Structure 1
Amino acid sequence: MNKSELINVVVEKTDMTKKDVTLALETTLEVITETLASGDSVKLVGFGNFETRKRSARKGRNPQSGAEIEIPESKNAAWKPAKAVKDAVNK
């Protein structure tokens, strides 16, 4: 399911207009992104937690030349699903 399909499903399940659903979804994603960028986490009870995780610097290989390269440390966004989501997926 992509973003537009998600918006269409929410429109069908609610009395909201497509414009309102689109605005709500885009605003929600923007707020989550801004919160993660600031280093905080977002906890949605019953759905899961969004957080940033630090990846340490490490050595890698250039796939074209085979030369060893240094990969710098970075931060990545991560999502940890709630138990209810895990149970629904594994049902």
Structure 2
Amino acid sequence: MRKADVVSSIAEKTGIPKVDILVALEAFFKEVKTSLVEGEPVYVRGFGSFILKKRAAKIGRNIKKNIAVEIPEHYIPAFKPAKEFVQAVKESKHKLAEHSGNEEEHD
């Protein structure tokens, strides 16, 4: 599902114009990015957390030049789903596997 599909789905369910939903969704994304850049995680109860994960310094390789390169310690954005979210996905996993299996049989 792409962002346009999400916007359409929300508009269909709520009756709110797509333009307004897109503006709100973009504002949410921008706020998450801004918060993480400032080092502050974003917690959405029942959904999950947008957090920063620390990557330790390590030695990498530049294959083209065949030299060792030091990769400094850095942070990357990550998403940690809430327990309720994980449980909902686990419970629906069998339905998704059966559904995708049925589609393959019909093709």
- Tell me the TM-score normalised to structure 1 length: 0.92
Distance (whole Å) between structure 2 residues aligned to residue 16 and residue 39 of structure 1: 33
Deviates more, 1:59-68 or 1:70-79: 59-68
Distance (whole Å) between structure 2 residues aligned to residue 65 and residue 84 of structure 1: 48
In structure 1, what is the equivalent of residue 71 of structure 2? 71
What is the percent sequence identity of the aligned residues? 37
Deviates more, 1:40-49 or 1:59-68: 59-68
**Structure 2 residue matching 1:43: 3-state secondary structure:** strand
What RMSD over aligned residues (CA atoms) do the two structures have, in Å? 1.1
Instruction: Kindly indicate whether structure 1 or structure 2 has the higher relative contact order, using CA contacts under 8 Å at least 6 residues apart.
Output: 1
Distance (whole Å) between structure 1 residues aligned to residue 13 and residue 52 of structure 2: 32
Distance (whole Å) between structure 2 residues aligned to residue 71 and residue 50 of structure 1: 24
Which AA in structure 1 matches 2:75?
Answer: K
1:74 Cα deviation after fit: 1.2
Which aligned segments of 4 or more residues in structure 1 are displaced greater than 4 angstroms?
Answer: none
Q: Over residues 37-75 of structure 1, what are the superposed CA-to-partner deviations in whole Å (9 max), with x where a residue is unaligned?
A: 100111100001111122111011223344221112211
Distance (whole Å) between structure 1 residues aligned to residue 85 and residue 64 of structure 2: 40
Q: Which has the larger radius of gyration?
A: 2
**Structure with higher helix content:** 2
**Structure 1 residue matching 2:63: 3-state secondary structure:** coil
Q: Which runs of 5+ in 1 are unaligned?
A: none
Q: Which runs of 5+ in 2 are unaligned?
A: 92-107
